[in-house]
Structure formats: structure tokens, C-alpha cells
């Protein structure tokens, strides 16, 4: 793993204990055809924004639920800031803030009443509670609607309230499950900005997302999970570099026929080929040797070539290369 300091605050200290560490986590639900988690080992450094990626049903939500103590594993252990999540549950609870995918808010209460309720649930009372409520309303830019019932809020405002409820007790580690799913671009941008601000203040952040651009913009470290197994983890830079070393990216003037993907995959030396409208990516052990055959295949389509680049990659390409095919059982 590349121990480069994270690009926003530079707070990453490789000598510090991990924010969260999981060892050989397994989880099997009764009646399920396979394990939801299968021997998952994960180390989340302190002071980074850590992205958890995976297809639907890969085990992301199950893993996050175990990491924050909401779900017990069938086997394995979790430590938060060096503390065992089971044996030292009360200490761990104070360290963690949790923002679930579905807003955990009471619709018939106002924004202020929701914050007061969840603050008391965290053991906060008196003037400290009121100070934290004021600060969370400020963070969420909810002051003007603090006395409105939440059932009248837009989806974006509910997400904002959901986020700051997770911050009411000033946690050191924030865990979010799909924090920007199904919201408008302005609310998404707002949440991104707040996460960057929290990270700059030293909060370690763990988030799952389906949006590759979101992960590339926010996350310094990434883990990809598929069928209950961690298939890769490391810094964003290291994951992208692993794909760049043997890739050819081509752009054409118009989309080739769907059969063209099969043509590419039959070229000697091609390991994988991915088509996306007018662009395609080929991975190969020998880009220089393979490029000539790829160009010949493009010429046979009769579609003009716009560009060919060596060593280009995106997180989406890394994700597809690791999750497109089922893992061997």
C-alpha cells in the first residue's frame, strides 16, 4: 500500500493505529445461499476519506453495519481506534458517527427536535446539547427551517439533517452508507463540501458509494468488495496505477457495433476489453505489441479514429475489471 499523505489535510500518519481494523470477518444470514461476508480483512487508516465500492449485493452495507457495531459478525473481530468493538462497546460508540442510507429521522418532529432527541440519545444535555444543536444547524444550513416538521423537507434537506445528526456528538470517525443517493446535484455538492471540511478538521470518514466520480473526487483510500470478498484495497493512486501499466484507450468518431467487443477480446495479448459508447479500453501485458492489432481492428469497422492513448485509467475501469466476472468459489 502506498503511504502517501492524503491530499487535503496531510493528516495521514502511517505510524498511528488504524481508525478501524477488521480481521477475518464472516457473516452468514440464515437461509442465504452464500456468505454475505467471507474472511474480510480490512485496515482503514486514520485521517483519510475511505471509499467502499462494490456492486449491488456485494456486502457493503453488511460490512459497514458490522464496522459500526449495528450487526454482529458470525466470526472475526473489529477494532476501532485500537478498541475492541464488542468488549469496549461504550467507548467505541462515542468515537463513531453513523449516517445510514435511509434517513434515520422522525418526520413529525422538527429539525431542531430531531437533533435534540438524538443528542440526548448520545448522553448530551443542557447547554452543551443546545450548543451542538446550533452548530449542527449551521453545518447543515438548516437554521431557516429548524422549526419546520421534517415530513415537509425535500430529499436534499433530509439528507443534510441525516448527516448532521451523525455529527451531534462530535465523533472522530464518521461512517456513511451511500450519503448522496437519489438527491439533486446541488445537495450532492453541499454534502461533498461538508465531508471535505470535516476531513480537514481531522475526522476520519468511511463511505460507501456506487458513484465512481464521487469516489475519485473525495476518497484517498479505496476498497472494492465483490461477492462478500475484498478484491483490492489501497490508495486511489496505487489502484489507478495498477490499471495504467497495461492499458490502451481508444476513442472513435461514433460507437462501433456491439460485436466489436468480441473482436477486441479475440486479439492475441488482450486480457480484457470494455466498450463505452465511442470509447473502449483494452488491457494487455504488452501494450506496444497489441496496439497495432487494435488499430487494424478499428480500421476494419470503417469508423474514423479520434485518439489512442497508452496508460490511461479511471476508477470505473479498475472497478469493472475486478467485479465484472464472478469470483471463483
pLDDT in tens, 11-45: 555 667 799 999 999 999 998 889 999 999 999 99
Instruction: Give buried/exposed letters for 88-100 (b at 16+ CB in 10 A, else e).
Output: eeeebbebbbbbb
The DSSP code for 230 is: E
Structural domains present in the chain: 20-240 (3.40.50.300), 246-310 (3.30.70.100)
Percent of the chain with pLDDT over 90: 66
pLDDT category, 3, cuts 50, 70, 90?
very low
Q: At what angle do helices 185-200 and 155-165 cross, to 10 degrees?
A: 20
Q: Does the pLDDT at position 7 exceed 60?
A: no
Strands of 75-80's sheet in order across: 37-44, 20-27, 75-80, 83-84
Mean pLDDT of the chain: 88
**Environment class of 140 (CB within 10 Å of its CB; exposed 0-12, middle 13-18, buried 19+):** buried
Output phi, psi for 263, to 5 deg: -60, -45
d(CA 261, CA 270): 11
Identify the pLDDT of residue 203. Answer: 96
Identify the pLDDT of residue 248. Answer: 85
Identify the pLDDT of residue 6. Answer: 39
Instruction: Give buried/exposed letters for 9-28 (b at 16+ CB in 10 A, else e).
Output: bebbeeeeebbbbbeebbbe
Kindly state the average pLDDT of the residues 107-126.
97
Kindly state the average pLDDT of the residues 216-229.
94
Kindly state the average pLDDT of the residues 78-103.
93
Chain centre to alpha carbon of residue 304: 37
Identify the pLDDT of residue 313. Answer: 64
Q: What digits encode the pLDDT tens for the residues 52-66? A: 999 988 999 999 999
Q: Does the pLDDT at position 99 exceed 90?
A: yes
Identify the pLDDT of residue 322. Answer: 78
Identify the pLDDT of residue 4. Answer: 36
Label each residue of 26-58 as H, E or C: EECCCCCCCCCEEEEEEEECCCCEEEEECCCCC
DSSP letters spanning 119-130: HHHTT--HHHHH
Higher per-residue pLDDT: 52 or 290: 52
Identify the pLDDT of residue 1. Answer: 34
For the ranges 62-66, 118-122, 267-271, 311-315, which has the lowest average pLDDT? 311-315
Q: Does the pLDDT at position 278 exceed 90?
A: no
Amino acid at each position: 500500500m502506498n503511504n502517501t499523505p492524503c491530499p487535503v489535510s496531510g493528516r495521514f500518519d502511517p505510524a498511528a493505529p488504524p481508525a478501524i481494523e477488521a480481521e477475518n470477518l464472516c457473516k452468514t444470514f440464515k437461509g442465504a445461499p452464500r456468505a454475505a461476508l467471507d474472511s474480510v480483512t480490512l485496515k482503514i487508516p486514520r485521517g483519510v476519506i475511505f471509499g467502499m465500492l462494490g456492486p449491488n449485493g456485494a456486502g457493503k452495507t453488511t460490512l459497514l453495519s458490522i464496522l459500526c457495531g449495528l450487526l454482529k459478525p458470525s466470526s472475526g473481530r473489529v477494532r476501532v481506534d485500537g478498541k475492541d468493538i464488542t468488549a469496549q462497546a461504550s467507548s467505541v460508540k462515542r468515537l463513531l458517527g453513523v449516517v445510514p442510507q435511509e434517513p434515520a429521522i422522525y418526520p413529525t418532529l422538527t429539525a431542531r427536535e430531531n437533533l435534540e432527541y438524538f443528542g440526548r440519545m448520545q448522553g448530551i444535555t443542557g447547554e452543551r446539547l443546545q450548543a451542538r444543536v446550533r452548530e449542527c444547524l449551521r453545518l447543515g444550513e438548516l437554521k431557516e427551517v429548524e422549526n419546520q416538521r421534517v415530513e415537509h423537507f425535500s430529499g436534499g434537506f433530509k439528507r443534510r439533517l441525516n448527516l448532521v445528526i451523525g455529527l451531534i456528538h462530535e465523533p472522530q470517525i464518521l461512517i456513511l452508507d451511500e450519503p448522496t443517493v437519489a438527491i439533486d446535484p446541488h445537495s450532492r455538492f453541499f454534502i461533498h463540501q461538508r465531508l471535505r471540511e470535516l476531513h480537514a478538521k481531522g475526522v476520519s470518514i468511511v463511505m460507501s458509494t456506487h458513484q465512481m466520480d464521487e469516489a475519485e473526487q473525495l476518497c484517498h483510500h479505496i476498497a472494492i468488495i465483490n461477492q462478500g470478498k475484498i478484491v483490492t484495497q489501497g490508495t486511489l493512486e496505487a489502484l489507478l496505477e495498477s490499471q495504467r501499466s497495461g492499458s490502451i484507450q481508444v476513442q472513435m468518431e461514433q460507437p462501433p457495433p456491439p460485436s466489436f467487443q468480441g473482436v477486441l477480446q479475440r486479439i492475441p495479448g488482450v486480457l480484457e476489453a470494455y466498450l463505452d459508447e465511442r470509447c473502449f479500453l483494452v488491457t494487455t501485458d504488452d501494450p506496444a505489441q497489441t496496439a497495432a492489432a487494435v488499430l487494424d481492428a478499428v480500421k476494419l469497422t470503417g469508423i474514423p479514429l479520434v485518439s489512442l492513448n497508452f496508460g490511461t485509467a479511471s476508477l470505473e475501469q479498475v472497478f469493472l475489471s475486478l467485479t465484472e466476472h464472478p469470483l471463483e468459489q
